[in-house]
Amino acid sequence: MSEVDRMLEANAAHAAAHRALPDARPRRQVAVVTCMDARIDVLGALGLGVGDAHVIRNAGGRVTEDVLRSLALSVHVLGVRAVVLVQHTRCGLEGVTDEELVERTGATLSFLPIADHDRSLAEDAAVIAAASYLGPVEEIAGLVYDVDTGALREVVLRARD
Ligand SMILES: [Zn+2]
């Protein structure tokens, strides 16, 4: 059975119990930017439920052009007022270089490796703070999630105005 077949089979039970949410606006007015790492239960780790937050994921949970594109919509179309950046321990982007990742993948891309979580979270928070079109964002936080203990550590907290 293919993975997609397994998913479609599982979906039958999901759809039977599904309750539709009429409003696309996140109830907690928050967007979470985090890593695609399969070990992170984003909603569980942050005490969120379905409908509470936007969750934007990529390798490393870094603030890229595409994350900014999503946040612009989160803020101006869907009422988000806080952005929480969550990096994590033992991330695949820790302790590697762009050169190594270009060689390993064959993709000539900037992979945004992480040498230091505190520094990269501060840099990413500063990118959000500097984006004039994200002016309505009132709170920007940076957290590190420990994949071994499940605990969060607060690194950056910036209130605007
Ligand atoms: Zn990661």
Q: For residue range 59-104, what is the model confidence (pLDDT) as tens digits?
A: 999 999 999 999 999 999 999 999 999 999 999 999 999 999 999 9
Q: For residue 35, report the distance from its CA to the centre of ligand 1, in Å.
A: 5
What integer pLDDT is reported at residue 157 of this predicted model? 76
Against a cut of 0.75, is the pTM above it?
Answer: yes
**Would you state the CATH architecture of domain 22-159?**
3-Layer(aba) Sandwich (3.40)
Q: For residue 59, report the distance from its CA to the centre of ligand 1, in Å.
A: 6
User: pLDDT at residue 119 above 70?
Assistant: yes
User: pLDDT at residue 114 above 80?
Assistant: yes
Q: Stretch 120-124: mean pLDDT, rounded? A: 96
Q: For residue 89, report the distance from its CA to the centre of ligand 1, in Å.
A: 8
Q: For residue 93, report the distance from its CA to the centre of ligand 1, in Å.
A: 6
Q: Stretch 134-160: mean pLDDT, rounded? A: 91
SS (H, E, C) the chain: CCHHHHHHHHHHHHHHHCCCCCCCCCCCCEEEEEECCCCCCHHHHHCCCCCCEEEEEEHHHCCCHHHHHHHHHHHHCCCCCEEEEEEECCCCCECCCHHHHHHHHCCCCCCCCECCHHHHHHHHHHHHHHCHHHCCCCEEEEEEECCCCCCEEEEEEEECC
Of all residues in the chain, the percent with pLDDT exceeding 90 is 96
What integer pLDDT is reported at residue 1 of this predicted model? 85
Q: How far apart are CA 28 and CA 131, in angstroms?
A: 22
